[in-house]
Homo-oligomer: A and B are copies of this chain.
Amino acid sequence: MSHAPLQNDTFLRACLRQSTDHTPVWLMRQAGRYLPEYCATRARAGSFMGLATNVDYATEVTLQPLERYALDAAILFSDILTVPDAMGLGLSFAQGEGPKFEKTVRTEADVATLAVPDMDKLRYVFDAVTSIRKALNGRVPLIGFSGSPWTLACYMVEGGGSDDYRAVKSLMYSRPDLMHRILAINADSVATYLNAQIEAGAQAVMVFDSWGGVLADGKFQEFSLAYTRRVLAQLKREHDGVTIPRIVFTKGGGLWLDDMKDLDCEALGLDWTVNLAKARAAVGDSKALQGNIDPNVLFAPPEAIDREVAAVLASFGQPHQGAGTGPTHIFNLGHGISQYTPPENVKVLVDAVHTHSKRIRAQG
């Protein structure tokens, strides 16, 4: 399939550590409940899964934030938990609550029945990718994504969100063999899933290790990072002759940058606890860095948002300029945008990233 030529390649260039005339910006969960037009579409769809599984709705909401803001990338509208749903665990979202699975995976018997799901059950995701890519018409690149093997396992074992991760950690400490089995299946499923998104038109992919940061030192490396590595090893490097950048984001993973700097990926996502100058020094010249403003900055007045954006950009410092490759920064939040965010403040943030990052470049 041939696609329209890309008009704004700033995000992809920054992923590949090539120079850009401004720092690209997109926001985790940028198509979401803080936008009234999203809420209207969701109301028509009836439920979150009704929205995510309908190609037209998924396309519509993915493009909504691009109409309001000068974002440099689009991200597939979907959920990180589509893969365990396709494994038969029965995902649902009650109104105003987090995700819930009908079945949990806690026993040897539960684990024995797990397998890489038939990708036909995830056809709605790949169809949405193709539809969105077409609707974007080359405006900005499209990012595909999945939860990390460990993060999927958290939900599969807990059956939903958790504030102490008691079930999943009990299993990990008591039966590490079962946990490794779950994670291996998850890793192979995630790799297959992301490759299919790439085939369908995703121009970059991101692995969300949302719950890697709840693990103890040592356990993170063994139960999360090792399986992210297993995913990365299986991912397509390019599609149609174009490199597909891979981004890994571990929320709360700032302490383990030393372990992550050798990951076979192009960019690392960082949350707001991380100092970008220190991260740049720790990671060296091997990865683009993505992040990391506190999403709560968006509740402040415009002048405060502008000031905090400038501070994050200054903390990264001067990005690579000119030919070749070097340190680059992709601006993002350190976590998904809050549903309570005033939409007009997002415009202030996005515009501030563009203005200040051009000014920093001009200062050489």
Q: Does A135 contact B (CB under 8 A)?
A: no
- Measured between beta carbons, the chain B residues less than 8 angstroms from A315 are 217-218
If A218-B275, A255-B254, A297-B173 touch, whether A164 touches B334 (CB-CB below 8 Å) is no
Do B166 and A299 touch across chains, with their CB atoms under 8 A apart? yes
Q: Does A213 contact B (CB under 8 A)?
A: yes
Identify 4 new A-B residue pairs, CB closer than 8 A, beyond the known A165-B296, A173-B299, A217-B315.
Answer: A166-B338, A217-B272, A252-B252, A255-B255
**Within the assembled complex, what's the spacing in Å between the Cα atoms of A294 and B300?**
36
Do B299 and A164 touch across chains, with their CB atoms under 8 A apart? no
**Within the assembled complex, what's the spacing in Å between the Cα atoms of A213 and B299?**
20
Q: Does A174 contact B (CB under 8 A)?
A: yes
Tell me, rounded to whole Å, the shortest Cβ–Cβ distance linking A295 to chain B: 8
If A164-B296, A273-B216 touch, whether A304 touches B174 (CB-CB below 8 Å) is yes
| Chain A interfacial positions (CB closer than 8 Å to B) | 163-166, 169-170, 173-174, 213, 215-220, 252, 254-255, 272-275, 293-294, 296-297, 299-301, 304, 308, 311, 315, 334, 338, 340
Do B340 and A294 touch across chains, with their CB atoms under 8 A apart? no
Do A273 and B294 touch across chains, with their CB atoms under 8 A apart? no
Do A294 and B334 touch across chains, with their CB atoms under 8 A apart? no
Tell me, rounded to whole Å, the shortest Cβ–Cβ distance linking A216 to chain B: 4
Do B252 and A164 touch across chains, with their CB atoms under 8 A apart? no
Pairs A–B under 8 Å by Cβ, sample size 12 = A165-B296, A169-B296, A169-B297, A170-B300, A174-B299, A213-B273, A216-B272, A216-B294, A217-B273, A217-B315, A218-B311, A252-B252
**Within the assembled complex, what's the spacing in Å between the Cα atoms of A338 and B170?**
12
Tell me, rounded to whole Å, the shortest Cβ–Cβ distance linking A291 to chain B: 11
In the complex formed, the residue of B with least CB distance to A304 is: B173
Do B170 and A299 touch across chains, with their CB atoms under 8 A apart? yes
- Measured between beta carbons, the chain B residues less than 8 angstroms from A174 are 299-301, 304
